[in-house]
Amino acid sequence: MVGLLGKKLGMTQVFDENGRVTPVTVLQIEPNLVVGERTRDKNGYNSVILGAEKGTNISKPVLGQFPDGTEPRKEVVEVRDFDGEYTVGESIGIELFDNIRYVDVVGLSKGKGYQGVMKRHGFSGGRKTHGSKFHRANGSTGLAASPSKVFKGTKMPGRMGHDRVTMQNLQIVRVDQERGVLFIKGSVPGVRQGFVLIKRAKKKG
């Protein structure tokens, strides 16, 4: 597994050599700092802790985990079973993606607020016309006298979005080392200027 933190800059389109248009998301990857590591002997598993985006006003408990002589970072993430040897204090750049064609992207989806059951869970809803009085309501939430309760986890209206979402098998269209940006085909979860974790695709070479 390899992965890096990146920032979503926005979407645009690129033309390929045949003039075909590909919609792409532009992700900026500044060199990630190796903040720490976990080893099998000491912690029971292997992983690398990465930090991105230099920042100020970082609380002391967070500040404590950065090695001496490095600037603290705002975003910190742990990637398990990181391929290759890296020492604490080192930086990993965008070159990591040079030979990778597909990636998984983990992000925090946009918050949608309080939503009904049709948008939130994809319920069909009822007819709009022909005397129908059932439009966008959720309908029945369960059985009657037995069990005389609504089961936990029943799909109902509520807060939607702002979830951790992983999108798998996204194609890398281009790696632009000069600008330090990655072009990924299609969309990626989250707001612009938001952070995403980009990992090598688990299910696709």
Partner 1 sequence: MDTVRSIEQEQMKNEDELDFRVGDVVKVHFRIIEGKTERIQVFEGLCIAMKNAGISRTFTVRKMSYGVGVERVFPIHSPRVQKVEVVRNGRVRRAKLYYIRERVGKAAKVSERIKRKESKTVTPASD
Sequence-separated (6 or more) residues with CB below 8 Å from residue 65: 35, 36, 49, 76
CA–CA separation, 170 vs 167, rounded Å? 7
Contact pattern from residue 171 through residue 190 relative to partner 1, giving x for each residue in contact according to CB under 8 A and a dash for the rest: -----x--x-x---------
Which of 30/104 has CB closer to partner 1? Answer: 30
Specify the stretch interacting with partner 1 by CB under 8 A; choose among 19-27, 49-57, 81-89, 92-100. Answer: 19-27
Is there a contact between 181 and 28 (Cβ–Cβ < 8 Å)?
yes
Least distance from C-beta 162 to partner 1, angstroms?
A: 23
Q: Which is nearer to partner 1, 17 or 98 (CB)?
A: 17
- Does 28 help bind partner 1 (rule: CB under 8 A)? yes
The residue within the footprint of partner 1, chosen from 2, 4, 5, 18 (CB under 8 A), is: 18
Query: Which residues between 133 and 172 bind partner 1 (CB under 8 A)?
Result: none
CB of 167 to partner 1, least distance (A): 20
CA distance 193 to 7: 6
Spatial neighbors of 109 by CB under 8 A, at least 6 apart, are: 161, 162, 163, 164, 165, 189, 190
Which phi and psi angles does 83 have, rounded to 5°?
A: -70, 140
Binding stretches for partner 1 (CB under 8 A): 9-15, 17-19, 21, 26, 28, 176, 179, 181, 192
